[in-house]
């Protein structure tokens, strides 16, 4: 109950901040580019014809999941804790009758709420794109093609779970540094390193690097390891949450 | 007053860096129902003490009891009964005044009506949809006080609450503090670096200097101490003769005249009478009470 109260307070704090619009708009570029590509006869038309309705979702989710979602998570995890630093409100938070554990978890849950909103918004935009594609060229028969919702939900769940390691570490960094540039710089560097490990070096360690795990749902040869990687991500989340909380509890945010 | 003090600290010590002791053996005693003025110059350790009382800093040495409970074991229960304002306003600039209070409303378990009530009390109920970032510093300070009042606390801790307030605002704050104490029975701990600013409202005073408590007790006791250190500046037609006449007052002579210690105004009249009875013309008879700075020096030397 107290955790829900703390979460409610966190949600109120994000009211009128850029985070909500950032979430809604951040999920839009990939579906928009996809739509423009199809309408102008670009490369995606062929993919749509080949793979049907499911292919549109897969393609959209892959492009979002590889680039836009990690960037969004890095920025969100850094900017949300900044609300307290920027407004000098940590002392008021800690002078109120709530445990540090609840404050910490409520902030993490609020970030995850927005990440889920991002994923839902992405799927909603892709659905809209499909409808628009259907009306622009009914001969594609997109709306009457088979739709594998189970696969879509599983893919969304893996996208979210494999992102948790990156998200939690970035959340810790966001709470750790008063200057928001530092966690963003660290996050971007690690993300680029993770992408290079996955696509350039094809390193054996890719399944253990927190900033590489989110690429697994979108690389076909890694699909056999997906469950293992999801568990690794949850393990990292637990570890980073624990370390982050110990650090959060020990740190002096006031005076 | 209740025998049990509302705040009781014993041997409270704290350091930010190992080599600098910020607080040293602070034994604070705030009686229930009192308005306790916590005085000290900037950097003396007031905010550190108040931060320890609110659990914002981890207690390193000593014990803190509030409402008769140990803070370490009962932090949340104790904080639920305290309203606080520590230093600068601690508000969300992108929200309105009402939204800022809404953030904490459920945490303190108070009704929406209480939000309206505290906004009314501090006089910013009509700010509507105006965002806090567009507030003046005085308005922000009022909202911070509203936030402190939100839980209808038994104990109100205000750290330099008059910062940013104009003279009229300071007078209003003084009236508000007195009203909260008298009508709502709140015990109030208020810090300041200006004795003149708070002596009109407090019943008890604690003076901290370089991390050590120099004085603690009722305001009347401080006044007595202050009076003891007061000097009467005198200039007459013959200062040397005046010095001889006032030998029992241990006069100090200077180029402008002489000065003697005095305790009350009756003594001033007696000194004047003695001088004029001895055919000396009195040009200046100026009682000068100890200011806070001098008081700190006196208290420091008294504790040396």
Dump pLDDT digits (tens) for B174-196. Answer: 888 998 999 889 999 999 888 77
Please give the helix or strand (H or E) that residue B177 lies within, else none.
helix B167-183
Residue range A38-48: average pLDDT? 70
Contact yes or no for A95 and B54 at CB 8 A: yes
pLDDT of residue B65 exceeding 90: yes
Instruction: Provide φ and ψ at A105, rounded to 5°.
Output: -65, -40
Closest residue, chain B, to A83 (C-alpha): B92
Measure the CA–CA gap between B49 and B38, rounded to whole angstroms: 10
Whether residue B94 lies within 8 A of chain A, CB to CB, comes out as yes
ipTM attached to this prediction: 0.85
Report pLDDT digits (tens) over B110-127.
Answer: 999 999 999 998 888 898
Which of B172, B212, B194, B181 has its CA nearest to residue B12?
A: B212
Distance CA A235, CA B110 (A): 39
- Do B26 and B62 form a contact (C-beta atoms < 8 A)? yes
Please indicate, yes or no, if residue A64 is contained in any of the structural domains: yes
Q: How far is B266 from chain A (nearest CA, A)?
A: 47
With 0-12 CB in 10 A as exposed, 13-18 as middle and 19+ as buried, what is A41?
exposed
Contact B155/B31 with Cβ under 8 angstroms? Answer: no
Please check whether residue A70 lies inside any domain of the structure.
yes
Average pLDDT (B259-283) is: 89
Separation of alpha carbons B167 and B119, rounded Å = 21
Q: Which residue of A has its CA nearest to B105?
A: A9
**CB nearest to B107's CB, from A15, A16, A97:** A97
- A255 is a domain residue: no
| Geometric angle at alpha carbon B188, from B184 and B193, rounded to 5° | 145
- Which residues sit opposite B182 in a β-bridge? none
Which residues are CB-neighbours of A60 under 8 A, at least 6 positions away?
A30, A31, A34, A122, A125, A126, A129
User: How many domains, chain A?
Assistant: 1
Mean pLDDT score of chain A: 88
With CA atoms as reference, the chain B residue closest to A92 would be B90
Using pLDDT thresholds of 50, 70 and 90, give the confidence band for residue A39. Answer: confident
pLDDT in tens, B24-42: 899 999 999 999 999 988 8
- Chain A / chain B CB contacts < 8 angstroms: 84
Best interface-test mutation with A: which of B104, B133, B140, B156 has the largest number of A CBs within 10 A? B104
Structure tokens at A184: 């963003």
- A128, A135 in Cβ contact below 8 A? no
**Residue A97 and residue B147: Cβ atoms within 8 Å?**
no
Buried b (16+ CB within 10 A) or exposed e, B16-44: eeeeebbbbebebbbbbbbbbbbbbeeeb
Task: Enter the tokens of residue A101.
Answer: 């554990």
Contacts of B131 in chain A (CB under 8 A): 16
Closest-CA distance of chain B to residue A92, Å: 6
What span, in angstroms and rounded, lies between the C-alpha atoms of B71 and B93?
A: 31
Interface test with B, best of A15, A80, A91 (most B CBs within 10 A): A91
The answer for B174, left when phi > 0, alpha when psi is -120 to 50, beta otherwise, is alpha
The tokens describing B66, both together, are 């509030």
**For residue B92, what are its two tokens?**
């969300």
Q: Is the pLDDT of residue B304 over 60?
A: no
Sequence ranges of the domains in chain B: 7-225, 231-288
- Chain A within 8 Å of B41 (Cβ-Cβ)? no
Say if the Cβ atoms of A99 and B76 lie within 8 Å.
Answer: yes
Chain A residues whose beta carbon lies within 8 Å of the beta carbon of residue B102: 12
Q: Cβ neighbours of residue A25 under 8 Å, at least 6 residues apart?
A: none
For residue B106, the chain A residue with the least C-alpha distance is A5
- Burial category of B137 from C-beta neighbours within 10 Å (exposed 0-12, middle 13-18, buried 19 and up): middle
B107 vs A98, A252, A255: nearest CB: A98
Task: Report if residue A74 sits inside a domain.
Answer: yes
Rounded CA gap, B119 and B88, in Å?
19
A254, B104: Cβ pair inside 8 Å? no
- Supply the pLDDT for residue A254: 60
Q: Residue B154 is encoded by which pair of tokens?
A: 């038994």
Residues from chain A that touch B46, judged by Cβ atoms under 8 A, are none
- For the cut 70, the answer to whether the pLDDT of residue A47 exceeds it is no
Q: Cβ separation of A95 and B99 shorter than 8 Å?
A: no
For residues A201 and A126, the answer to whether their CB atoms sit within 8 Å is: no
3-state secondary structure of B102: helix
End-to-end CA distance of chain B: 33
Q: Could you tell me which residues come within 8 angstroms of residue B281 by beta carbon, excluding any fewer than 6 positions away?
A: B236, B237
Tell whether A68 is covered by a domain: yes
Confirm whether A95 is domain-assigned. yes
Please name the fold of domain B7-225: Rossmann fold (3.40.50)
Q: What residue numbers bound the domain in which A89 lies?
A: 2-250
Cβ distance of A94 and B107 shorter than 8 Å = no
pTM of the predicted structure, to 2 decimals: 0.84
Identify residues of A whose CB sits under 8 angstroms from chain B CBs: 5-6, 8-9, 12-13, 15-17, 83, 86-92, 94-99, 252, 254-255
Question: Is residue B86's pLDDT more than 50?
Answer: yes
Smallest CA–CA distance, residue A10 to chain B, in Å, is: 8
Is the pLDDT at B92 greater than 50? The verdict is yes
Q: Is residue A227 part of a domain?
A: yes
Cβ separation of B55 and A86 shorter than 8 Å? no
Using the Cβ of B107 and the Cβ atoms of chain A, whether some distance falls under 8 Å is answered with yes
Residue A222 has what pLDDT? Answer: 78
pLDDT at B1: 47
Chain position carrying tokens 């000097």: B231
Q: What is the mean pLDDT of residues B77-84?
A: 94
For residue A196, being part of any structural domain is answered with yes
Residue-wise over A149-163: b if at least 16 C-beta within 10 A, else e? eeebeebbebbbbbb
Contact B79 A95 (CB under 8 A): yes
Instruction: Give the range among A88-92, B91-95, B164-168 with minimum mean pLDDT.
Output: B164-168
The partner residue sitting opposite B55, judged by closest CB among A6, A88, A94, is A94
């Amino acid at each position: 109950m107290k955790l829900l109260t703390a979460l409610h307070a966190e949600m109120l704090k994000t009211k009128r901040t850029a985070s909500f619009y950032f979430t809604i708009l951040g999920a839009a570029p990939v579906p928009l580019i996809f739509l423009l590509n199809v309408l102008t006869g670009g490369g995606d038309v062929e993919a749509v014809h080949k793979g049907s309705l499911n292919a549109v979702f897969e393609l959209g989710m892959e492009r979002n999941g590889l680039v836009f979602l990690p960037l969004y998570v890095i920025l969100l995890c850094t900017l949300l804790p900044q609300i307290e630093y920027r407004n000098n409100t940590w002392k008021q938070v800690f002078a109120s009758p709530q445990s540090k554990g609840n404050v910490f978890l409520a902030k993490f849950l609020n970030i995850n709420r927005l990440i889920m909103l991002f994923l839902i918004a992405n799927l909603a935009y892709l659905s809209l794109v499909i409808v628009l594609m259907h009306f622009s060229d009914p001969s594609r028969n997109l709306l009457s093609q088979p739709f594998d919702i189970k696969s879509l939900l599983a893919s969304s769940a893996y996208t979210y779970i494999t992102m948790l390691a990156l998200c939690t570490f970035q959340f810790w960094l966001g709470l750790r540094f008063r200057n928001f540039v530092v966690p963003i710089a660290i996050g971007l560097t690690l993300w680029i390193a993770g992408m290079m490990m996955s696509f350039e070096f094809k390193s054996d360690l890719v399944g253990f690097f927190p900033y590489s795990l989110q690429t697994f749902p979108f690389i076909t040869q890694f699909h056999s390891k997906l469950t293992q990687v999801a568990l690794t991500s949850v393990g990292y989340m637990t570890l980073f949450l624990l370390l982050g909380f110990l650090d959060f509890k020990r740190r002096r945010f006031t005076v | 007053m209740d025998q049990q003090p509302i705040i009781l600290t014993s041997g409270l010590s704290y350091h930010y860096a190992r080599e600098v002791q910020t607080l040293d053996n602070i034994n604070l005693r705030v009686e229930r129902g009192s308005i306790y003025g916590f005085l000290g110059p900037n950097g003396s350790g007031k905010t550190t003490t108040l931060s320890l009382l609110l659990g914002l800093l981890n207690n390193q040495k000593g014990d803190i009891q509030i409402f008769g409970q140990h803070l370490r074991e009962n932090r949340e229960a104790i904080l639920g009964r305290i309203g606080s304002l520590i230093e600068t306003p601690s508000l969300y600039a992108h929200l309105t005044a009402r939204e800022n209070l809404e953030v904490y409303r459920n945490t303190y378990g108070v009704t929406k009506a209480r939000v309206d009530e505290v906004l009314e009390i501090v006089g910013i109920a009509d700010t509507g949809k105006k965002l806090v970032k567009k507030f003046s510093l005085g308005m922000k300070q009022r909202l911070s006080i509203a936030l402190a009042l939100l839980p209808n606390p038994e104990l109100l801790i205000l750290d330099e609450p008059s910062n940013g307030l104009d003279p009229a605002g300071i007078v209003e704050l003084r009236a508000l503090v007195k009203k909260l104490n008298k009508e709502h029975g709140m015990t109030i701990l208020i810090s300041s670096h200006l004795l003149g600013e708070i002596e009109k409202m407090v019943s008890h005073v604690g003076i901290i200097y370089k991390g050590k408590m120099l004085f603690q007790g009722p305001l009347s006791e401080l006044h007595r101490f202050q009076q003891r250190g007061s000097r009467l500046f005198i200039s007459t037609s013959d200062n040397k003769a005046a010095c001889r006449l006032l030998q029992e007052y241990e006069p100090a002579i200077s180029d402008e005249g002489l000065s003697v210690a005095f305790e009350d105004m009756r003594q001033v009249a007696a000194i004047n009478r003695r001088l004029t009875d001895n055919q000396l013309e009195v040009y200046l008879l100026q009682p000068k009470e100890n200011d806070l700075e001098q008081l700190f020096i006196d208290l420091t030397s008294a504790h040396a």
